Structure 1
Amino acid sequence: MGNFRVSDLALGRQGCPIFSALDSLLVNHATKNRAVQNIGGIANFSISPAGDVRGHYDLDTGPGNVFIDAAVRYFTQGQQEYDHNGRMGAQGRIDQKMVDEVLSGPYFQHDIPKTTGRETFGDSFAEDICKKMLTQNGAATPEDCIATITRITAQSLLDHYRRYAPVPLDEVFLGGGGSYNPNIINYLRENMPHTRFAMIDELGIPVGAKEALGFALYTCEGFVGRPLMVPRRTESERAGVIGHVQAGDNHFDLRRRVVNFWGDWAADQVLPTTKMVFEGMEST
């Protein structure tokens, strides 16, 4: 199976983020509003409202690690790829004026639904921020630039939580490389004191395996012709099966096995999965 994002586009949505249905199956709780936060190159989060597994929605908030990694490579001439444990950023001073200038840009002001990528927040954007800081402030250091760029990520996350998360937001489960950067996570904890932050490993899913789990689930659902739960607050509420089958030599035998296990259901009776149970944990 493949082309999951292309299939989502064909249904009238943006193709990314794409794991809102998975996230809601994993974290939906009867009484707690929860979020799943991914800080990869681009940062995004999904919201799963209390007691409403179908009420999930998601959005890209802007740069995650992409700016930080680009700045580290820029200042180390490619000798380092990322700011390990946020050490460089922790030694710098934040240029709040620069942070606010970047966050006044059009993407951050745009309403949801929205998605973005490196075509908007690429290495050259991060390098331009660094060059501008060094030009405007002769005393600025590489650490100052990395601290400032890190705050852009953290503050953009906070801004989007304040705009789009339910109140109260009880828990946020973290994933992605940026979740290990204390300069980001501590800022969120300080400014969201009533929200508990925890790694998604707490749910029994290794943080590095979550995306693989998502594609495995979507492959299973697509192969049996079952649509996913449609996220709310998106361009289209059209349900549909996502993913394209690339048939192998045993394709028809595998389909027979699936039908024998699953049963021969009429199309209008194949409904989205709304509950997931797996070893030692139940999503309720």
Structure 2
Amino acid sequence: MIVLSLSSGTSVDAIDVAAADLTMTGGEIRMTPLGHREVQYSVELRGLILDALPPAATTLETVCRIDTGVGQEFAAAASSAADDLTGGRAELVVSHGQTLFHWIDDGAVRGTLQLGQPAWIAQATGLPVVSDLRVNDVAAGGHGAPLASLFDVLLLGDSRKRSAALNLGGIANVTVVGADHDPVAFDTGPANALIDAAVRRLTAGRDHVDHDGAIAARGQVNSRLFAALLDHPYYRRLPPKSTGKEDFHAGYLAEMIDRAGCQDLSPSDLLATLVEVTARTVAAALTPYAVDRVFASGGGTRNPTLMRRLEDHLAPARLTTIAELGLDSDAKEAYVFALVGFLSWHGVAGSIPACTGAGRATVAGRITPGATSLRLPPPVADPVHTLRIVHPILTKLPAT
């Protein structure tokens, strides 16, 4: 089945679009990546989303405008990619949408909201759309995150080494896989969320990324601000756990700067401190598992300063990127959702309770019909146990 996948992360950088050819035989899934692209949001819609994110107040009118706007811009991206990436052969679209709120109360997730009305995508492409991928897991008592854990476990689970998959989006999440223990997955805390918030603060919104980590590379870690940031109670919670910009946002950063008395901190020292927070909290989260190697993905892999600090703190574990396993580091999350939607179409659960904290494994999402009658295949009976990336540069894990 050829699947188109659409997503947008907590950084609201762009719409990630990926296409994959997936086959499933006897519990093994083979994924052939067909292409990936990033499609920029319109300036107006991106501004509307950023202005509505926590802790900002918003209105139901704004929620409706975002839901419609994201659906329409996802639909345009899907229509173009259906031609360019699949030659018109796509059979299913999977849309994660844009997360606007992740409702956590006393460490438990009560609800989660992803916007981007799938009807627009179904009408534009004529294809059925799987969307709302997290809510079933939340309703079963889970965090609805990280959904990447299923992908990671299927891809890394046949290795004899202790491995971790690390995604560096706005929030960092990890999946730890080893032959001698059940898989574990959770959000570790901010990856780029605070760094990007600082850049927007320093540039009055003109920019939102420290390109190539150049500013942070010139700075020194401020011990007072570093200590204040590490005092967040989230780091003391045990997995499974999840977080978002509800916890780590521009207002929180401003409060910590004031608390530490660092209002006059130079831009380079501020960003160096935030990079160190990300690197140290990721490494601390992985320390109990004594992993041998870490496969990173997400926008943070484009920040050489962050990657150097991670490499130092994760040693002796080897840090590399998911590209070593045949996937574009920027495209992994989109391929994760392609896999989850493909499994939903075939009646297979899209999450792992040990990783999300759910009481049982659930089939993810809901389906919006396309232009033709909706006909699902019979549910697959074989348990899914392996994911193979079929790629010209790599078709299996490196030798262990």
Match of 1:22 among 135, 146, 151: 151
> Given that residues 70 and 127 in structure 1 are in contact (C-alpha distance below 8 angstroms), is that contact kept between their aligned partners in structure 2?
no
**2:124 maps to what in 1?**
none
> Given that residues 137 and 364 in structure 2 are in contact (C-alpha distance below 8 angstroms), is that contact kept between their aligned partners in structure 1?
yes
CA distance in 1, matches of 2:294, 2:382: 28
**2:63 maps to what in 1?**
none
> Given that residues 228 and 259 in structure 2 are in contact (C-alpha distance below 8 angstroms), is that contact kept between their aligned partners in structure 1?
no
> Given that residues 130 and 145 in structure 1 are in contact (C-alpha distance below 8 angstroms), is that contact kept between their aligned partners in structure 2?
no
1:186 aligns with 2:271: no
**1:219 maps to what in 2?**
341
**1:152 maps to what in 2?**
277
> Given that residues 169 and 299 in structure 2 are in contact (C-alpha distance below 8 angstroms), is that contact kept between their aligned partners in structure 1?
yes
Q: What is the one-letter code of the residue matched to 1:80? A: D
**1:273 maps to what in 2?**
384
> 1:92 aligns to what SS in structure 2?
coil
Q: Which residues in structure 2 correspond to 1:157-236 (within 5 Å)?
A: 157-163=282-288, 166-167=289-290, 169-228=291-350, 230-232=352-354, 234-236=356-358
**2:362 maps to what in 1?**
240
233-242 or 101-110, which moves further after superposition? 233-242
**2:252 maps to what in 1?**
125
Higher relative contact order (CA 8 A, sep 6+): 1
> Given that residues 326 and 389 in structure 2 are in contact (C-alpha distance below 8 angstroms), is that contact kept between their aligned partners in structure 1?
no
**Greater share of helix:** 1
CA distance in 1, matches of 2:316, 2:323: 21
**2:172 maps to what in 1?**
43
**Gap regions ≥5 residues in structure 1:** none
Q: Deviations over 1:147-198 (max 9, x none)?
A: 11221111111111114xx22x111111111122233222222233221111
Q: What is the one-letter code of the residue matched to 2:176? A: I
CA distance in 1, matches of 2:154, 2:362: 18
**Greater share of strand:** 2
Cα RMSD (Å) of the superposition? 2.2
CA distance in 2, matches of 1:68, 1:44: 16
> 1:4 aligns to what SS in structure 2?
coil
Q: What is the one-letter code of the residue matched to 1:24? A: V
**1:282 maps to what in 2?**
396
> Given that residues 176 and 184 in structure 2 are in contact (C-alpha distance below 8 angstroms), is that contact kept between their aligned partners in structure 1?
yes
Aligned CA distance change for structure 1 residues 172 and 46 (closer, same or farther; 3 Å): same
State the percentage of identical aligned residues: 31
Q: Which residues in structure 2 correspond to 1:47-62 (within 5 Å)?
A: 47-50=176-179, 55-62=182-189
CA drift at 1:51: 7.2
1:83 aligns with 2:194: no
Aligned CA distance change for structure 1 residues 250 and 91 (closer, same or farther; 3 Å): same
Q: What is the one-letter code of the residue matched to 1:44? A: N
> Given that residues 189 and 278 in structure 2 are in contact (C-alpha distance below 8 angstroms), is that contact kept between their aligned partners in structure 1?
yes
CA distance in 1, matches of 2:360, 2:153: 18
CA distance in 2, matches of 1:17, 1:234: 7
1:68 aligns with 2:179: no
> 2:144 aligns to what SS in structure 1?
coil
Aligned CA distance change for structure 1 residues 154 and 62 (closer, same or farther; 3 Å): same
CA drift at 1:229: 5.5
TM-score, normalised on structure 2? 0.62
Question: How many equivalent residue pairs?
Answer: 266
> 1:276 aligns to what SS in structure 2?
strand
CA distance in 1, matches of 2:297, 2:275: 17
CA distance in 2, matches of 1:227, 1:79: 42
Q: Deviations over 1:194-244 (max 9, x none)?
A: 211111111111122212211111111111111245242553341221111
**Gap regions ≥5 residues in structure 2:** 1-129
CA distance in 2, matches of 1:278, 1:30: 15
1:101 aligns with 2:101: no
Q: What is the one-letter code of the residue matched to 1:276? A: L
CA distance in 2, matches of 1:189, 1:208: 19
CA distance in 2, matches of 1:136, 1:15: 36
> 2:366 aligns to what SS in structure 1?
coil
CA distance in 2, matches of 1:51, 1:205: 26
CA distance in 2, matches of 1:31, 1:190: 24
> Given that residues 34 and 50 in structure 1 are in contact (C-alpha distance below 8 angstroms), is that contact kept between their aligned partners in structure 2?
no
